């Protein structure tokens, strides 16, 4: 069964790490697809996980209208062997699955010049939360977006942590709406970081999402940490109902 969505909402495989031992398994991805086949983000933690990612049958991901990858954020991107291998694997995944966006943490980059030869990988920079040394305001990432012709992913939970009024989101949108390709959404909780919105009174986050989607219709990726398979539908329905 597929549930009706009023916007292009989907899940990150990272939301399901407590539900499936292998979040790249056909069972995991198909379970997500049964709730929404509008969008999916494939979260890759490290170089070793690319083997599992690239073993996903093409037909399993073909059902999704939009596929993105969250690139590993724990490595240092620069002139090193690990970065080269990650970029090679990203190219394979982009070609194999028709990936439209590859999310990148700017705080993981040591040498931006490596992206000069990565025009075939659709990178997009994500704004950061308070745990990172920078990336909380648009001026932090503006240079790299401009110089390397990168797109932008807006994480609204990161905005909320830095500014519960959500006004910083407006600054990001003012500068980068033409580059905006994806939005991340979840609630904040000190223990789980990316928590379920349906269990928190943080409606200002979904309210800001609705406001932005009225300006530009882009895929929305739910990053909430789920505890049961029933939580998939619960979280999807909670967010979707804001658009009635």
Is 2 part of a structural domain of the chain?
A: no
Q: At what angle do helices 138-147 and 167-176 cross, to 10 degrees?
A: 20
**C-beta of residue 124 within 8 angstroms of C-beta of residue 150:** yes
Q: What is the pLDDT of residues 6-55, one digit of tens each?
A: 679 999 999 999 999 999 999 999 999 999 999 999 999 999 999 999 99
- Predicted confidence at residue 1, as pLDDT, reads 45
Average pLDDT estimate for 185-198: 88
Q: How many CB atoms are located within 10 Å of the residue 223 CB?
A: 21
With CA atoms as reference, report the closest residue to 58 among 105, 92, 12. 92
Q: What is the pLDDT of residues 117-140, one digit of tens each?
A: 999 999 999 999 998 989 999 999
Is 1 part of a structural domain of the chain?
A: no
Is 135 part of a structural domain of the chain?
A: yes
DSSP code string of 48-90: GGHHHHTTS-HHHHHT-SEEEEE--SSS-BSSSHHHHHHHHHH
Is 4 part of a structural domain of the chain?
A: no
Tokens of 152: 């932008």
Please state the domain count of the chain: 1
Is 197 part of a structural domain of the chain?
A: yes
Is 236 part of a structural domain of the chain?
A: yes
Is 26 part of a structural domain of the chain?
A: yes
pTM of the predicted model as reported, rounded to 2 decimal places: 0.95
- Predicted confidence at residue 96, as pLDDT, reads 98
Is 239 part of a structural domain of the chain?
A: yes
Average pLDDT estimate for 96-101: 98
- Predicted confidence at residue 243, as pLDDT, reads 82
Which letter does DSSP use for residue 113 in this model? Answer: G
Q: What is the pLDDT of residues 55-94, one digit of tens each?
A: 999 999 999 999 999 999 999 999 999 999 999 999 999 9
Q: Give 237's pLDDT tier (boundaries 50, 70, 90).
A: very high
Q: Give 5's pLDDT tier (boundaries 50, 70, 90).
A: low
Which CATH number goes with the domain that contains 64? 3.20.20.150
Q: Is 70 exposed, middle or buried (0-12, 13-18, 19+ CB in 10 A)?
A: buried
**C-beta of residue 217 within 8 angstroms of C-beta of residue 182:** no
Look at residue 3 and tell me whether its pLDDT is greater than 80. Answer: no
Residue 13: domain span: 9-243
């Amino acid at each position: 069964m597929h549930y009706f969505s009023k916007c292009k909402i989907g899940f990150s495989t990272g939301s399901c790490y407590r539900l499936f031992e292998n979040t790249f398994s056909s069972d995991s991805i198909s379970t997500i697809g049964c709730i929404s086949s509008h969008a999916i983000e494939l979260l890759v933690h490290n170089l070793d996980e690319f083997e599992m990612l690239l073993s996903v049958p093409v037909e399993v991901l073909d059902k999704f209208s939009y596929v993105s990858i969250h690139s590993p954020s724990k490595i240092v991107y620069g002139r090193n062997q690990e970065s080269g291998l990650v970029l090679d694997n990203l190219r394979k995944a982009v070609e194999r699955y028709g990936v439209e966006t590859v999310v990148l943490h700017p705080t993981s980059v040591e040498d931006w010049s490596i992206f000069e030869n990565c025009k075939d990988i659709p990178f997009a920079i994500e704004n950061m939360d308070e745990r990172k040394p920078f990336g909380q305001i648009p001026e932090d990432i503006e240079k790299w977006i401009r110089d390397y012709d990168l797109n932008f992913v807006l994480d609204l939970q990161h905005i909320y942590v830095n500014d519960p009024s959500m006004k910083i989101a407006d600054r990001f949108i003012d500068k980068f709406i033409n580059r905006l390709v994806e939005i991340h959404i979840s609630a904040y909780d000190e223990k789980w970081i990316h928590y379920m919105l349906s269990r928190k009174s943080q409606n200002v986050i979904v309210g800001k999402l609705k406001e932005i989607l009225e300006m530009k219709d882009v895929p929305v990726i739910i990053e909430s940490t789920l505890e049961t398979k029933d939580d998939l539908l619960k979280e999807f329905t909670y967010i979707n109902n804001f658009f009635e």
